[in-house]
Homo-oligomer: A and B are copies of this chain.
Amino acid sequence: MVQIPNPPPPEPSAARSVPTSADVARLAGVSRATVSYVLNNTGAVRISEPTRRRVREAARELGYVPHAAARSLRAGHSRMVLMPAPSFPAGPLYSRFLSGLQWALGRLDYTVVQYGTAGVHGDEAARAWAELRPVAVLAPGSDLGPRGVEILKRSGARAVVTLGPEAVEGAHALLTDQEGVGRGATRHLYDRGRRRIGVVVPAERGLDVFSAPRLDGARQAVAGTDATVTELPLRYEEGDAARLAARWRPLGLDAVFAYNDEYAMLLMRALQDEGLDIPGDAAVIGADDLMLGRLLRPRLSTVHLELPAGRDLAALVDRAVHDPGAAPERHKVLGATVVHRESS
């Protein structure tokens, strides 16, 4: 950061204290109850129009904003849906999913909050979230064990939904079928005659939640066949890709399923620089169906993923909130479809 000079001198700033509904009541010459009725449009109570006007006017004048904590303390519950903020760079896929979800939950009058989990893990994280008394929690299953779920429920969370390859006891589950991604990609390569298949696995921490099951899926796809699967760790940087490409021929592979399109692009470029023909010498397939795959030459084959619509997930949350006792729902949510282009 570069400090630059400040033009305006510091204002004295009256620094009045934060206005409360009592202040509004005083200014409007009514009781706090009346203020509450007016500002919340309480249907059961009829307030005369002049009074309403006075109250609203007073609130406006003071810049009154209700205190959410006090309100939910009194109410005994909140409308907050908590999600941990992703700890890795979220791709466009997840971003779109999140936007849609926020919008849909907003329509149902929930407030979505992403909690910045700064290096806190496991039950401790669950406890931190529970302090906010969210009405629902939506989190990666990797962040939340059965004990975490229990903590949240004990603290009043009426719905806990996990996202990940496996269900967590006591919680609703969105089962991301990452194995299916690896299976689909690898079967595609197999079907096109490839038998010695490499699988790129990111060396970066935090991505193994996704990459490990994709690798497993690849293994499943070749189980009982004459094909082999070789794990290829790769850091997301040119140097490492070049190193991997340099030992490509000795590896004796004829195809590679890269963790996602970005890693696929990285490796494909390195292989091309090494003089290999794609897909002749090596078939390449990625995953996530990012735009960049379409722009490569040859065009990158990939696995298209379908995340659940925000509306559907919002509906699940709402259902769960209304009936917390119901049996946990299980949904498969990654519609994985192979998109065959030119690189395989």
Contact with B along A89-116 (1 / 0, CB 8 A): 1111001101100110111000111111
Q: Judge whether B236 and A291 touch: CB under 8 Å.
A: yes
Q: Shortest beta-carbon distance, A297 to chain B, in Å?
A: 8
Number of contacting residues on A, CB 8 A? 91
When the two chains form the complex, which single residue of B1, B127, B133 contacts A313, counting CB atoms closer than 8 Å? B1
Interface residues of A in 303-344 (CB under 8 A from B): 308-309, 312-313, 316, 324-333, 335
Question: What residues of chain B lie closer than 8 Å to A45, measured between beta carbons?
Answer: none
Q: Does A131 contact B (CB under 8 A)?
A: yes
The docked-state distance in angstroms from the alpha carbon of A63 to that of B155 is 8
When the two chains form the complex, which single residue of B9, B16, B65, B327 contacts A6, counting CB atoms closer than 8 Å? B327
Q: Shortest beta-carbon distance, A271 to chain B, in Å?
A: 12
When the two chains form the complex, which single residue of B2, B174, B265, B328 contacts A292, counting CB atoms closer than 8 Å? B265
Q: Does A48 contact B (CB under 8 A)?
A: no
Q: Judge whether B102 and A63 touch: CB under 8 Å.
A: no
Q: Does A41 contact B (CB under 8 A)?
A: no
Interface residues of A in 159-200 (CB under 8 A from B): 174-175
Identify the interface centre among A18, A70, A266, A294: most chain B CB within 10 Å of its CB.
A18
- Seen from chain A, the residues whose Cβ lies within 8 Å of a Cβ on chain B are 1-6, 8-10, 13, 15-16, 18-19, 63, 65-70, 72-73, 78, 85-92, 95-96, 98-99, 102-103, 105-107, 111-120, 127-128, 130-133, 150-151, 154-156, 174-175, 236-238, 262, 265-266, 269, 291-292, 294-295, 308-309, 312-313, 316, 324-333, 335
